[in-house]
Amino acid sequence: MLRPHKKRLHHGFAAVAAALCTAAMAAGALTGTAAAAPADSAPATAKAAATQPASGAGTKAAGNKVVGYFTNWGVYQRNYHVKNIETSGSANKLTHINYAFGNVTGGKCAIGDAYADYDKAYTADQSVDGKADTWDNGALRGNFNQLRKLKALHPNLKVIWSFGGWTWSGGFAEAAKNPAAFAQSCYDLVEDKRWADVFDGIDIDWEYPNACGLTCDTSGRTAFTNVMKALRAKFGSSNLVTAAITADASSGGKIDAADYAGAAQYVDWYNPMTYDYFGAWDAKGPTAPHSPLTSYNGIPKAGFNTADTTKKLKGLGIPAGKLLLGVGFYGRGWSGVTQDAPGGTATGAAPGKYEAGIEDYKDLKGRCPATGKVGGTAYAKCGDQWWSYDTPETIGTKMNFKNEQGMGGTFFWELSGDTASGELIKAIN
């Protein structure tokens, strides 16, 4: 899931790498930013009243979690800040924020962007509470301080620090060699006394255990389970431990590559990434919705839809209450398309504001309004461009599915893709 800062890739580009890697699983570590030396860690017991411990296989679905990703690089070109979560009304809907991303390098958790995370100074008009950051000795600034202020306004809101993502998942191969040491490094960073009160747990976004993403992992089927077990042991029941996982429900696909059922006992919940199933990494098409709820006649690949993903994970024995339904607050598109309905040919990726082939919902709703629906999601044909994305209406359909399945809630990628008034998040129930 995505690159740091300005040129950020989404999960679905795994399709390209997977095609290249299938023949030869060649693991490769990525180079990332260096870790800041954390100060003394705060004890986990300080948060005992703030979170719910992981529960057993018979847990009844709570159904009300609303988890939104906030990206640290969004403060640059996107100009999306923690204050926008408040002014859009999104903070009133959220139960949890996933802060993306921390790096994974050298077998350890590390800071992703020191400036954006805890050094950028906000003026009074930019700040959540209308008070400017200070340069006093030891003062916290940046996103972390803004999140602290947001939590003060919303005492029930929890913040989880996500590590990895599409670009930095190569670091998990080294981390899996010594899960206990990795877990200790993550705990030391998340519980650093400078910001321990900001975070309520850790989220792991490993793309993908024992399978191919940007790089190919050969850690073995049990590596993910071992890492999650070590994290739960270190973070204890007073902190949240969650993971974003593959949604590839195809036969022999990425869900089959790792023991997600075995690791489920260690997580509070999973975020199956039920978006980016299809996109313009297949430059010539066929055009297909990137986040279909269900299969449909002509879908390019079996098992690439939310219903099949959910069915497969539940079939492994993972409780529905530990599965959140994933929604993308963006669209994916092609250009050079003549056919209105899905399944058409294309010549390449449609232009996007930040990256070809992808565009935020807030921009697409005006410039390429939806013209049809398929598989429980929307698509749009405008000129020679073909896009797919979710609308408030299709999110409503997905909420009905979530409730029927007894799932634990909803998560989405990511907050800056919504309108200034929070049109999409307000469709989540």
From the list 396, 260, 270, 272, the residue with the least C-alpha distance to 321 is 270
Is 207 among the residues known to form the active site?
A: yes
Of 174, 207, 359, 414, the active-site residue reads: 207
Distance, in Å, from the CA atom of 309 to the CA atom of 57, rounded to the nearest integer, reads: 19
For the four alpha carbons of 413, 418, 422 and 424, in that order, the dihedral sign comes to negative
Whether residue 200 contacts residue 160, with contact meaning beta carbons closer than 8 Å, is answered with yes
Q: Which residues contact 180 (CB under 8 A, 6 or more apart)?
A: 230, 233, 234
Distance, in Å, from the CA atom of 169 to the CA atom of 32, rounded to the nearest integer, reads: 10
Distance, in Å, from the CA atom of 425 to the CA atom of 67, rounded to the nearest integer, reads: 10
Structure tokens at 61: 């679905």
3-state per-residue secondary structure call for the chain: CCCCCCCCCCHHHHHHHHHHHCCCCCCCCCCCCCCCCCCCECCHHHHCCCCCCCCCCCCCCCCCEEEEEEEHHHHCCCCCCHHHHHHCCHHHHCCEEEEEEEEEECCEEECCCHHHHHHCCCCHHHCCCCCCCCCCCCCCCHHHHHHHHHHHHCCCCEEEEEEEHHHHHHHHHHHCCCHHHHHHHHHHHHCECCCCCCCCEEEEECCCCCCECCCECCCCCCHHHHHHHHHHHHHCCCCEEEEEECCCCCCCCHHHHCCHHHHHHHCCEEEECCCCCCCCCCCCCCCCCCCCCCCCCCCCCCCCCHHHHHHHHHHCCCCHHHEEEEEECEEEEEECCCCCCCCCCCCEECCCCCECCEEEHHHHHHHCCCCEEECCEEEEEECCEEEEECCHHHHHHHHHHHHHHCCCEEEEECHHHCCCCCCCHHHCC
Rg (CA), the chain: 20
Catalytic residues: 207
